[in-house]
């Protein structure tokens, strides 16, 4: 079945530096890739998403890139701030059928002030 691998599992950066989280998916039919941020005791919140017909998408300090050939997608956070500290999950989905998300195992990001 579909599998999503996510790396690294933990990431510490100094405030103001950039953070990059990488994911790889197995099902070449996947065509929708959301990224979620989860803070302690809360549900996942969508921060950015990308569809397979686009290679890159940016929203202020956050960007996502997609390489369909390699089945890789990445989250880039620039100018990190302490409030960016959280667990980040990537996911892969189809825009047909069940639409269920297959999640990665998460990256705990710690931004050091």
Partner 1 sequence: GAGVSQSPRYKVAKRGQDVALRCDPISGHVSLFWYQQALGQGPEFLTYFQNEAQLDKSGLPSDRFFAERPEGSVSTLKIQRTQQEDSAVYLCASSLYLLAGRVKNIQYFGAGTRLSVL
Give first-to-last CA distance, the chain, whole Å. 41
The structure tokens listed for 89 are: 């999950």
Q: How far is the CB of 53 from partner 1 (least distance, A)?
A: 13
Give the x-and-dash track for 24-63 against partner 1 (CB under 8 A).
--------x-x-x----xxxxxx--x--------------
ω into 8 cis (within 30 of 0): yes
Give the x-and-dash track for 85-104 against partner 1 (CB under 8 A).
----x-x-x-xx-xxxxxxx
Q: How far is the CB of 34 from partner 1 (least distance, A)?
A: 7
- Give the residues lining the site for partner 1 (CB under 8 A): 4, 6, 32, 34, 36, 41-46, 49, 89, 91, 93, 95-96, 98-106
């Amino acid at each position: 079945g579909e599998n999503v691998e996510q790396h690294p599992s933990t990431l510490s950066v100094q405030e103001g530096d950039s953070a990059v989280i990488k994911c790889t998916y197995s099902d070449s039919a996947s065509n929708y890739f959301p990224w979620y941020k989860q803070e302690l005791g809360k549900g996942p919140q969508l921060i950015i998403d990308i569809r397979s017909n686009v290679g890159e998408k940016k929203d202020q300090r956050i960007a996502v890139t997609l390489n369909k050939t390699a089945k890789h997608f990445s989250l880039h956070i620039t100018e990190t701030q302490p409030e960016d500290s959280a667990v980040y999950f990537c996911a892969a989905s189809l825009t047909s059928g069940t639409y269920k998300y297959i999640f990665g195992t998460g990256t705990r990001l710690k931004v050091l002030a």
